[in-house]
Structure 1
Amino acid sequence: MKKICTFLLVFLVTTVISVFPQKKLALHFSNATNKIESAKLLEKITYWELFLINNKINYDVIYDKDIESGISHKKYHTVVFPYSKVVSQDEYVSIEKYMENSGNLIAFGEFCFYEQGINTKSFERLEYLFGVLYSGYIQQKQMSLLAEFRSQFPVTKDIANQLPVQVSAKSSPVYVEIISSKSKSLSKVKSDNASNKIEKSLIVFNTMDNSKAAWFSFDPLEVISSREDVKKIEKIIINTINWFEESAPN
């Protein structure tokens, strides 16, 4: 009798999972970026795969063609762009549709768009996706920058140490300006210059009608102050993924 009950329980769980499959996270491997910065992209993808496995997050790796053909919001609750320096117009249209259908987005770094036939990068799409305006790069000659954090923010509420973290400027991090009332800056460049009226935001969250989006100027690999600070950023990312997954419709 006990064996029969166990079998029925396993069968029921398997049936429920097959009928109502769990949504996954999609990790984007940028084929276009791979052509220009393959070593850097491989480093980022390797880090992210280990990070997701260690945190028991179910995921698929997807490629440019997968995005262009359409991302299913029923299959993926969140799409992560860990290092996508080249995003095509077709990919952007697909991302936009995915978000209109309640899909969530997390992107790191430049996240530039290239129009077909035009060999210049554009940050204009950042306005719609994240509610921000591209402001500039942190110059490499600065060597590093201090990123300070907002308190009382949902994804940082369980992080005790919210002191600034030191971030490498080797990759010339981008900073942005908030232009949407729906966007909130979680982190900005710490500056002693009181006359600087434009806030240099480094981490931004945008809450749209049907979806959420987060943009990070830097990732944990670029934090150079301490291992504790690396874990702090990783915790913020995990909290963000969990928040996005919980808010995604079934």
Structure 2
Amino acid sequence: MKKLFLNIVLALFFVSVLYPQNISGIKIGVVHSAKTKQMLHKDDNQFNPIQNWELFFLNRKIPYTVFSDEEIDDNDFTDTDVLILPSVEVLSPDAKENLLDFVNEGKGLIILGEIGSYNEDGKKSKGNFINDLCGFLYYQLETQGEIAERHTITANSFLSRGIPFSAEITIINRFAPLYARVKNDEQKLGKYILKNENDNEKSGIVAVSKGKGRVVWFGFSLSQISAEDDIVEKIIFNSIEWLSDKPFLQLAPMFRGDKVPVVISNLIKDPNQISDELLNELYSDSIKSNFFIEASSLPNSGNKLGKLSATGDINLSMDLFDINNRGVDKDSLLKSSFEFLSEKSRQKYFGVKIVNLYGNLSGINFSPFQYYTVTDQLVLNENGKQNKLLTMANKFSFSFRNSVRELNELKVKIENVRKEKQVLFLSLLNQGNYTVNSDLTAQIKIIADYLKSTKVLLLSYSELIDRLLKREDIALAINRTEEKNQFLVTVENKYQENIKDVVIELIVHSGNQKPEIINTTHRLTKSDEPNKYLVTIPYLHAGMKEIFKIKFEEK
């Protein structure tokens, strides 16, 4: 099979899948709080939180119903599945009680900004309604003069479905953004990226299950979000689907359980300087490594390249500053390096790392493999389509330098990565830091012993890339059928190869009983998490669809 160069920079991450989104049949309501405007924002002509929601739904021809302040007091909302409350700061005691009943009965709320901070007389309310409803408190974020804040989207959450895992949203500080203090990290759907690292656990998006229903809270208004239109759309659609009684479908995390995927990446200037003792240590301790080798040193690497290949993956490093100084043709160097590595390795994929960017990369012809190429200095497109691996770059990668005193830091990073469901990238060897050195070998053994003693999964770039590419090309859809309480599930493999063991998460509403899978032999098992089930498809042929039904009875 033809090998392709891949440019992997910093880190790769679990990739989401693009799903056909269908919110038809979900009855949506939006609250227009005239009292909030009149009592608290009378002189602010820009305060009109419902306007952006109406434009969003009208532009997409999605039906919705507008409710007034008074209607929240006593409306039974029989024909409403999901109710949106944008900056509804004024609420009567009756309205609060009605909203609590609404959620407890199995409905869904989207809350943006403050809610119920004032009563119907415009006076500060006693107690805290968001705490009564969701069990957390929110506070104003200190913007420190910034015009905007960055906010992540938690990977493998319902909110991230169809959104690149490296994507962020920007929150314009037109109004002061809010953050929540949440005890349960699983309820956080992202966090602000702040200059003070101690503040980086402040979340502006929270999801809570309450009674039979659910709530999604945003610490900012829709008008404050700055992101690509499709990302904003997916955030809203994902929230509405999760809040409704319709089952929610997504791929299970690529690395399930407690194991942390670890990729060891080493930048090698001259392979001949690596001692056999060091390689033997890596090999004997099963420390699967990935070596990025300077292109200029490849022809003189002798049999050392074969030893590196036996220890892990061999990849290409291109020092553009050095290449330009020596007047080497970059395009020819790339092609010859590709041929050389192809001859010396059985790898399916290679990585190429650009070092010391000098000028631009226009002198290199990436076109034969541009569909799979990504770098932090270069964005490549094929017929206007973003290349696949670009969505996998993880800007939060951690480069570990092989010092014994940093072993404790490594332990902390592994736990953080486990919590964030990320991929951890370690660097044991950098540039000249790999000569014959007994101390270095001893240090690596300490690291190796620790990695083997904890729950990590050592991966090569080839293995990680292969998993990511396959995963990115699995498309899922779930739609209602004409039969009551039945849903049609479609799973399609758009990858050019067969895929084994596709695991799908089926998240059902708490008001539903255990689902039953029909007209298929696939297994349906209960997850350890509440209201979550797993469907396992042992084998999915290239270009093929699997279609089956999910049926459940209402309580």
Which bin holds the TM-score, normalised by the shorter protein? 0.7 to 0.9
Q: Aligned match of 1:188 in 188, 191, 213?
A: 191
After the TM superposition, which residues 55-204 of structure 1 pair with which residues of structure 2 at under 5 Å, given as runs?
55-72=60-77, 74-115=78-119, 119-121=123-125, 124-139=128-143, 141-180=145-184, 184-196=187-199, 199-204=201-206
The SS at the match of 2:197 is coil
The SS at the match of 1:113 is coil
* Alignment gaps of 5+ in structure 2: 1-24, 248-508, 512-553
The SS at the match of 1:204 is strand
1:7 corresponds to: none
What is the Cα deviation at residue 126 of structure 1?
Answer: 1.2
Cα distance in 2, alignment partners of residues 122 and 110 from structure 1: 14
Q: TM-score, normalised by structure 2?
A: 0.37
Cα distance in 1, alignment partners of residues 111 and 157 from structure 2: 19
Q: Give the length in aligned residue pairs.
A: 222
What is the aligned-residue RMSD (CA, Å)? 2.6
- Pick closer, same or farther for the CA change 1:106–1:123 going to 2, 3 Å: farther
1:24 corresponds to: 27
2:36 corresponds to: 33
Contact 1:113 1:125 in 2 (8 A): yes
Note if 1:244 corresponds to 2:246.
Answer: no
The SS at the match of 2:201 is coil
What is the Cα deviation at residue 101 of structure 1?
Answer: 1.2
Q: TM-score, normalised by structure 1?
A: 0.77
The SS at the match of 1:85 is coil
Cα distance in 2, alignment partners of residues 109 and 68 from structure 1: 20
Which moved further from structure 2: 75-84 or 53-62?
A: 53-62
The SS at the match of 1:33 is helix
Cα distance in 1, alignment partners of residues 114 and 165 from structure 2: 27
Which moved further from structure 2: 123-132 or 209-218?
A: 123-132
The SS at the match of 1:151 is coil
What is the Cα deviation at residue 243 of structure 1?
Answer: 2.3
Higher helix content, 1 or 2: 1
Question: Percent same amino acid at aligned positions?
Answer: 23
What is the Cα deviation at residue 57 of structure 1?
Answer: 2.7
What is the Cα deviation at residue 84 of structure 1?
Answer: 1.2
Q: Aligned match of 2:56 in 48, 51, 59?
A: 51
Letter paired with 1:172: A
Contact 2:188 2:203 in 1 (8 A): yes
After the TM superposition, which residues 206-221 of structure 1 pair with which residues of structure 2 at under 5 Å, given as runs?
206-221=208-223
> Max radius of gyration: which structure?
2
Which moved further from structure 2: 210-219 or 53-62?
A: 53-62
Letter paired with 2:160: T
1:234 corresponds to: 233
What is the Cα deviation at residue 161 of structure 1?
Answer: 4.9
Cα distance in 1, alignment partners of residues 54 and 120 from structure 2: 31
* Alignment gaps of 5+ in structure 1: 1-21
- Pick closer, same or farther for the CA change 1:152–1:125 going to 2, 3 Å: same
What is the Cα deviation at residue 56 of structure 1?
Answer: 3.6
User: Alpha-carbon deviations, 1:170-203, whole Å to 9, x = none?
Assistant: 201111110357x61112111343344x821100
- Pick closer, same or farther for the CA change 1:112–1:99 going to 2, 3 Å: same
